[in-house]
Amino acid sequence: MTGSPESDSTPQLIIVARLAEYCQFRTIQKYEADPWEFMLRKLQETEEPLTAFKSDLFRTTRERLLTELETGGLSAERCSDYRLLFECLLCAGDFADAAIHLSPSAPNQAESLRQVLAQIQPASLFVEERKPAEQRSPSWDKLVSGLSHRLELDHLGTVMVRKPPTAQRKAMVLRRVRRNVAEYCCVVRIPTKTQDTFTSFMLPRIEALIAANLRFLLKFR
């Protein structure tokens, strides 16, 4: 299940562009004096387009779901499709509220979903990351920690504290960060065409990718 034809592809293209710039500091370093601040800024610049992208995807998914319900009940397969999509868009509590009605046997399904989905909004990785660590969702922290390990950010963190963080050492570490992120983006196959969209599998991992790098850059800046 992909985005609706009515979805605006512009926010997704901005996200892709910012991640590409994040990984390509060396090609534009003559315009930027501080790679650490440049890379941090590029991650922060994904907040607005990512919020717009998720809001638009949530709106089109909700409208498609309610349209389907008007023409009849949902099969078990369609319920599963929608649970998968909403899980990548909502916080754990809001997803639980919606998911309980995404079953073929759910009573008053159309009206219940209409009411629930009118009261909730997509989750934001930036809002979650601004919370104190102890208040963050455990499932979110697990996802971000997994990405940090896969990107070797935990290892690079130990490299940073092993010796004084000179400009040369920081530059070396950031080169490795950019390389690892670029390789991960290739594996995940982030789309670059306007007719494509982030899949339900891809979106949480892109968010966790941004969050993991934010944590690293903010900790060792």
Written as six digits, the tokens of 72 are 């009849």
pLDDT attached to residue 9: 76
Burial group, residue 93, by CB count within 10 angstroms (0-12, 13-18, 19+): exposed
> What per-residue confidence (pLDDT) applies to 1?
46
Q: What pLDDT was estimated at residue 34?
A: 85
Task: Yes or no: say if 120 and 97 are a contact pair by the CB < 8 Å rule.
Answer: yes
> What per-residue confidence (pLDDT) applies to 171?
87
pTM for the whole structure: 0.89
Lookup: tokens for 90 = 């909502």
Q: How far apart (Å, rounded) are the C-alpha atoms in residues 16 and 208?
A: 15
Is the Cα dihedral 62, 200, 99, 54 positive or negative?
negative
- Tell me the C-alpha distance between 21 and 96, whole Å: 36
Residue 3: per-residue pLDDT: 43
Q: What is the DSSP track for the chain?
A: ----TTS--HHHHHHHHHHHHHT-HHHHGGG-S-HHHHHHHHHHTTHHHHHHHHHHHHHHHHHHHHHHHHTSPPPHHHHHHHHHHHHHHS-HHHHHHHHTT-STT-TTHHHHHHHHHHS-----HHHHHHS-GGGS-HHHHHHHHHHHHHTTHHHHHHHHHHS---HHHHHHHHHHHHHHHHHHHHHHT---STT----TTHHHHHHHHHHHHHHHHHHH-
Q: Is 108 left (phi over 0), alpha (psi -120 to 50) or beta?
A: left
Query: Would you write out the chain's pLDDT as a tens digit for each of its 221 residues?
Result: 444 445 567 898 899 889 989 988 776 666 777 888 999 999 999 999 999 999 999 999 999 999 999 988 899 999 999 999 999 999 989 999 999 999 999 999 999 999 999 999 999 999 999 999 999 999 999 999 999 999 999 999 999 998 888 888 888 999 999 999 999 988 888 776 656 677 777 889 999 999 999 999 999 98
